[in-house]
Amino acid sequence: MAGVFAVAAVTFFAKAAWAGNIRGSWDPQFNATFAGTGFLGEVVFFVPNACLTNGTPNSFAYFADGAPCSAGGMYLVSAEASLYTYPNTTSIISTITFAPPAVLPDPILGIRVEYSATGVPTVVGLDTDVIGPQPSGASPLQAPDPLYLAFASGDAASPYSDPFPFPLSAGAYLLPQACTEFGDGTFCGADLSPDARSNPGQVAFTPEPGSLALLLSAIGAGWFVRRRKAGS
């Protein structure tokens, strides 16, 4: 029975090893819209196990949040951006927290995954709805100018690819507010136009420690099976 349990544990942990939070960090990048200002930051989001397993080796795949592997299971955990005086990345002007608290409806739209020659998955792109707005909080971006945050994967299946009016290259974006006058009032939202949005910050994605713990659990379960066999 112990051997059966151990084999079951290996199967469970091997399947679960890739589920968990993914952290994305983007490099300092000059901001084209806000002269003299750059931005850097981090985003953490959850990806269901089924969207990361059973991939074809040496391939890419795009999974929308509404795909069967997710069924709406991807969600944002946290997101923030720090503004700095370009190019001095230690000269932080202000840090904007976009989440938590939870953003409703959840903004995660999909992910792009790369599979290695051995089938190991790596998240390489993220698509979100526009997140925000939040006030910038300090000069040269004087509060209360609202800023929004968005991520694009650059994948052909991305909602931000053609025929989207303004296709976005892969990366993290800061977006200013744009307001349009209507007969019954004024509508304000994020300005995605090429002349308004920031240059993209190139995002590097890595598993959170919780996800790595699952992988280590899988390795530990395999060690347990070998120990049981050695002792029998």
- The tens digit of pLDDT for each residue in 87-104 reads 888 989 889 999 999 999
pLDDT of residue 35: 77
Q: Strand, coil or helix: what is 212?
A: helix
Q: Would you say residue 185 lies in a domain?
A: yes
Q: What is the mean pLDDT of the chain?
A: 81
Whether 74 and 43 have beta carbons less than 8 Å apart is answered as no
Provide the domain limits for residue 193: 19-204
Give the pLDDT band of residue 222 (cuts 50, 70, 90): very low
Buried b (16+ CB within 10 A) or exposed e, 77-90: bbbbbbbbebeeee
pLDDT at 218: 40
46 falls within a domain: yes
pLDDT of residue 185: 80
What does the alpha-carbon distance between residue 73 and residue 151 come to, in Å, rounded to a whole number?
18
Give the model's confidence band at 51: pLDDT under 50 very low, under 70 low, under 90 confident, else very high: very high
Higher-pLDDT residue of 78 and 94 is 78
**pLDDT-wise least confident of 8-12, 127-131, 226-230:** 8-12
Q: Is residue 4 part of a domain?
A: no
Give the mean pLDDT of 111-140: 89
- State the Cα angle at 109 between 104 and 114, rounded to 5°: 140
pLDDT at 227 over 70: no
Helix or strand (DSSP H, E) at 42 = strand 37-47
Residue 10 lies in a domain: no
pLDDT category, 19, cuts 50, 70, 90?
low
Distance CA(224)–CA(146), nearest Å, equals 54
User: Which of the pair, 6 or 174, is modelled with greater confidence?
Assistant: 174
Residue 216 neighbours by CB under 8 Å, 6+ apart: none
Question: What's the token pair of residue 98?
Answer: 């976009």
- Let me know how many helices (H) and strands (E) the chain has, helices first: 2, 12
> 229 in a domain, yes or no?
no
What tens digit of pLDDT does each residue of 108-124 get? 999 999 999 998 999 99
- Residue 116 inside a domain? The answer is yes
- The pair of three-digit structure tokens given for residue 116, joined into one six-digit string: 């290695």
Residue 226 in domain: no
Token digits of residue 5: 């349990």
Residue 76 resides in a domain: yes
- Count: domains in the chain: 1
